[in-house]
Amino acid sequence: MERGYQKNNDETSRLGDGVTGSDGAGALRGIRVLDLSENLAGPFCAQILGDLGADVMKVERPGGDPARAWGPPFDGGDAVLFLAANRNKRGCELDLRTESGAAQLWEMIDESDVFVQSFRPGVIERLGFGADPVRARNPRIIYCSISAYGTRGPLRDAAGYDPLLQAFSGLMSVTGENDGEPVRLGSSPVDMGAGMWLAIGVLAALRERESTGLGRRLDVSLLGAALNWMGYHFLGLQASGRTPERHGTAFPSIAPYESFETMDGRLMIAAANDSLFCELCAVLQRPDLVSDSRYASNALRVANRVELRDAIARAVGTWSTAALTDALLAAGVPCSPIQDAREAFVHPQTAATGLLVDLPGSATPGLKVIALPIEWDGEIVPVRSGVPGSSVSGDEQ
Whether 212 and 327 share a structural domain: no
Residue 389: per-residue pLDDT: 82
Give the tens place of pLDDT for each residue, 271-309: 999 999 999 999 999 999 999 999 999 999 999 999 999
Whether 223 and 262 share a structural domain: no
Residue 9: per-residue pLDDT: 34
CATH number, domain containing residue 292: 3.30.1540.10
Whether 88 has a pLDDT exceeding 50, the answer reads yes
Kindly report the number of other CB atoms within 10 A of residue 397's CB atom.
18
Question: Is residue 350 in some structural domain?
Answer: no
Whether 206 and 274 share a structural domain: no
CA separation, residue 83 to residues 23, 299, 377 (Å): 23, 45, 27
Whether 163 and 293 share a structural domain: no
More confidently predicted of 1 and 337: 337
Question: Domain of 308?
Answer: 257-337
Residue 77: per-residue pLDDT: 87
Whether 282 and 320 share a structural domain: yes
Whether 15 has a pLDDT exceeding 70, the answer reads no
CA separation, residue 86 to residues 59, 90, 198, 279, 374 (Å): 11, 9, 16, 46, 18
Give the tens place of pLDDT for each residue, 342-352: 999 999 999 99
Whether 117 has a pLDDT exceeding 60, the answer reads yes
The four Cα atoms 45, 47, 52, 54 give a dihedral, to 10 degrees, of 100
Question: Is residue 221 in some structural domain?
Answer: yes
Kind of pairing between the strands at 55-60 and 89-93 = parallel
Structure pTM?
0.88
Average pLDDT, the chain: 90
User: What is the b/e burial string over 193-230, where b = at least 16 CB atoms within 10 angstroms of the residue's CB?
Assistant: bbbbbbbebbbebbeebeeeeebbbbbbbbbbbbbebb
Whether 361 has a pLDDT exceeding 90, the answer reads no
Beta-ladder partners of 59: 92
Whether 159 and 304 share a structural domain: no
Whether 301 and 184 share a structural domain: no
Q: How many folded domains does the chain comprise?
A: 2
Which residue in the list 35, 51, 162, 191 is annotated as catalytic?
191
Question: Is residue 294 in some structural domain?
Answer: yes
Question: Is residue 268 in some structural domain?
Answer: yes
Whether 391 has a pLDDT exceeding 90, the answer reads no
**In the chain, which residue ranges form alpha helices assigned H by DSSP?**
11-14, 41-51, 80-83, 99-110, 123-126, 131-137, 162-169, 189-212, 222-229, 231-240, 274-283, 287-291, 298-303, 305-316, 321-330, 341-346, 348-352
Whole-number Å distance between alpha carbons of 39 and 36: 10
The yes-or-no answer on residue 191 being catalytic is: yes
Whether 52 and 118 share a structural domain: yes
CATH number, domain containing residue 48: 3.40.50.10540
Question: Is residue 344 in some structural domain?
Answer: no
Residue 12: per-residue pLDDT: 30
Total residues found in the chain within this entry: 397
Residue 154: per-residue pLDDT: 94
Residue 126: per-residue pLDDT: 95
Give the tens place of pLDDT for each residue, 25-69: 789 999 999 999 999 999 999 999 999 999 999 999 999 999 999
Cα angle value 44/46/51 (rounded, 5°): 90
Mean pLDDT of 126-138: 97
Among 169, 165, 128, 170, CA closest to 146 = 165
Question: Is residue 211 in some structural domain?
Answer: yes
Whole-number Å distance between alpha carbons of 35 and 45: 9
Whether 390 has a pLDDT exceeding 60, the answer reads no
Percent residues over pLDDT 90 in the chain: 83
Whether 24 and 119 share a structural domain: yes
- Contact between 84 and 78 under an 8 Å Cβ cutoff? The reply is no
Residue 25: per-residue pLDDT: 75
Whether 126 and 165 share a structural domain: yes
Q: Say which residues have a Cβ less than 8 Å from residue 70's Cβ, sequence separation at least 6.
A: 79, 81, 82
Mean pLDDT of 311-339: 96
Cα angle value 200/203/208 (rounded, 5°): 125
Whether 130 and 88 share a structural domain: yes
Residue 71: per-residue pLDDT: 87
Give 182: exposed, middle or buried? Use CB within 10 Å, 0-12, 13-18, 19+.
middle
User: What is the b/e burial string over 64-99, where b = at least 16 CB atoms within 10 angstroms of the residue's CB?
Assistant: bbebbeeeeebbbbbbbbbbbbbbbbbbbbbebeee
Question: Is residue 150 in some structural domain?
Answer: yes
| Confidence bin at 22 (pLDDT 50/70/90) | low
Give the tens place of pLDDT for each residue, 225-271: 999 999 999 999 999 999 999 999 999 999 999 999 999 999 999 99
Question: Is residue 103 in some structural domain?
Answer: yes
